[in-house]
Structure 1
Amino acid sequence: MDLSPLPLRTLCAIADRGTFTAAAEELGYTQSSVSRQVAALEREVGARLFDRKQGGPALTAAGQTLLRHARAILAALDAAERDLRGTPAQERRVRLGAFPAAGWALLPRLLATLGRTHPSLTVTSREATSPALLRAVRAGTLDVAVVSSRPPHRPRDTGLPQLTVVDLADLGLRVAVPATGRFAGRGGVTAEELAGQPWIASPQVGAEPLLGVWPGLPGKPRVAHRTRDWLTKLRLVAAGCGVTTVPDGLDLDLPPGVVALPVTGAPPESRRLHAVHLAGSPEVGATVDALRAVLAGSGGSHPRARTAQPG
């Protein structure tokens, strides 16, 4: 086989991002270019690498095997480039992922905690949805990720190899509303009152859940604004442009003009935070310990610690 780094990086990007479109955006290609690279790579290895499914492409067994080797090949090439340039390798680093609300509430405190307890540890981070973070950990582009799950509190992940899942905290869910106007001075809001409200939600990708809308509302929610940026969501709420959901128990620093209210007359909604990783290391262990320390000072309740394999 004659394998060049370019299609191997494309393979990794698709496995990480979950779709050909997202991989093309990351790499600066067109979607048709990514599709052609995958087709050429499949011809070269003589096997189908992806199953095309409604929720996005899924790696076949051959694709998983090639992905594992691609990671090693690209890491070796990167190491060679560092050596040739005389750039020292980062021996102690951790690549961290978090869903947006966790990044907003936890990341600054986590970095401050690690700065005190492990000053030689270099942390890089990025945000994504929980399904995308699970893919990134398995693909090897993240070392550990903070994800959330709904009851029965298992990350929706059945891929191989299995990920280690460490429970961190249980959180409730509230609705962020303008401090003035219809809900001013209220101690709560009913599900019926929310049904007709304009919602501010994250853009939906494939089969991933719609984030920012209260689950189980009667009828189809009216999403007025879509944005991934957490601050933009809350600023839009403060301006009276709609409402959005927020986790209860992360000590979120809500901007002026926004209040978070419980929802009454509907079953309670809960979320569980997990730290997920593929391979244990001192750096990953230090990060998980720091996450626990940060959450110990928040309002979230903490489930009995366990390490489990998602089913």
Structure 2
Amino acid sequence: MDFTVVGLRVLREVAERGTFTAAAHALGYTQSAISRQVAGLEQATGVRLFDRYPGGVRLTTAGRALLPHAVTALDALDAADRELSGAEDDTGQVRLGFFPAVGSVLVARALTTLGRQCPRIQVTTREGTTPSLLRALRAGVLDVALLSSRPPHRSPDADDPPLHAEPLLEDRLVLAVPVSGRFADRASVTAQHIAGETWIASPSSTDEPLLGIWPGLPGRPRVHHATRDWLTKLHLVAAGVGITTVPSMLLSAIPPGVRLVTIDDLPEERRRVSLVRLPGPTTPSTDALVHALRRHAADLAE
């Protein structure tokens, strides 16, 4: 089979991004150029590599089989380029993905510890939604990812080979409310207390549902503010313009003007933070990062 380096890079990028348009933007190509490269790969292999569907593409079984070989080949070429150019060895690099809520607490603390104990290890991070982080893992552009799940905690995806998922932390959702006003003296509330309140939520998308509203809340919530940034959400709560749900592990990052309360008459909502990676051996640098993440996850769980 006759592969080109450009074709393999396009395969990896489309697999990671989930759309031809996003891959074209990342690589600086036109969408038609991406389509031509994919068509050339499919002609060379004699099989369809992507299934098209409204809103994006997914790797076929053949595409999933080809992807790890493409990643291995591209990594080898990148290593050869670094060696020929005299660049320093980068085997101490680790690529970590995470969902937004853990960035300011678990990730930041783990990187502080790792930087103090293993200063030669270089960690690059990427925040993203669960689907985007899973695509990045499968495409070989992330080494490990922190993902959130709700019971019954099924496998993150159904692709092969199955991902290795290690639970790090069990957390629960709580309600972030202003310190003043009608919630000032309450340690907990009921569904009736928050009926009709204005909510602050993350924008919904095909990747992720609307986040920030208490799951299963009766009635139709009023969402007046939408932002993905947790700090913005919490400062909007402090400003008294709405309420939102947050993981309880964010307690140490709560700004002045915000209190965390529980809801008495609705089922408790628990979330698990897991460290997810592809199966197989890991590098010493990855092991060092994982050790730091485990340590601080245990601290947050206390």
Structure 2-normalised TM-score?
0.88
Greater mean deviation of Cα atoms: 275-284 or 1-10: 1-10
Aligned-partner SS, 1:114: helix
Deviation at 1:52, TM superposition (A): 2.8
Assess if the C-alpha contact under 8 Å between 2:168 and 2:298 holds in 1.
no
Which of 286, 290, 293 is the matching residue for 2:292? 290
* Residue 289 to residue 266, structure 1, CA distance change in 2 (3 Å): same
The one-letter code sitting in structure 2 at the alignment partner of 1:168 is L
* Residue 186 to residue 30, structure 1, CA distance change in 2 (3 Å): farther
Name the counterpart of 2:281. Answer: 280
The one-letter code sitting in structure 2 at the alignment partner of 1:201 is A
The one-letter code sitting in structure 1 at the alignment partner of 2:222 is R
Deviation at 1:95, TM superposition (A): 0.8
The one-letter code sitting in structure 2 at the alignment partner of 1:280 is P
Assess if the C-alpha contact under 8 Å between 2:92 and 2:122 holds in 1.
yes
Assess if the C-alpha contact under 8 Å between 2:99 and 2:146 holds in 1.
yes
Coordinate RMSD, CA, aligned: 2.4
* Residue 223 to residue 89, structure 1, CA distance change in 2 (3 Å): farther
Does 1:191 find its partner at 2:188?
Answer: no
1:58-77 alignment, distance < 5 Å: 58-77=58-77
Name the counterpart of 2:246. Answer: 246
Query: C-alpha separation between the residues in 2 aligned to 1:224 and 1:24?
Result: 34
* Residue 209 to residue 19, structure 1, CA distance change in 2 (3 Å): farther
Name the counterpart of 1:128. Answer: 128
Query: C-alpha separation between the residues in 2 aligned to 1:212 and 1:22?
Result: 27
Deviation at 1:187, TM superposition (A): 1.3
1:139-288 alignment, distance < 5 Å: 139-278=139-278, 279-281=280-282, 282-288=284-290
Query: C-alpha separation between the residues in 2 aligned to 1:246 and 1:220?
Result: 19
Query: C-alpha separation between the residues in 1 aligned to 2:44 and 2:250?
Result: 49
Structure (1 or 2) with the greater helix fraction: 2
Name the counterpart of 1:307. Answer: none
Name the counterpart of 1:15. Answer: 15
Which ranges of structure 1 fall in alignment gaps of 5 or more residues?
302-311
Percent identity over paired residues: 55
* Residue 121 to residue 21, structure 1, CA distance change in 2 (3 Å): same
Structure 1-normalised TM-score?
0.86
Q: How many residues align?
A: 300
Name the counterpart of 1:113. Answer: 113
Query: C-alpha separation between the residues in 2 aligned to 1:23 and 1:48?
Result: 18
* Residue 105 to residue 39, structure 1, CA distance change in 2 (3 Å): same
Assess if the C-alpha contact under 8 Å between 1:54 and 1:206 holds in 2.
no
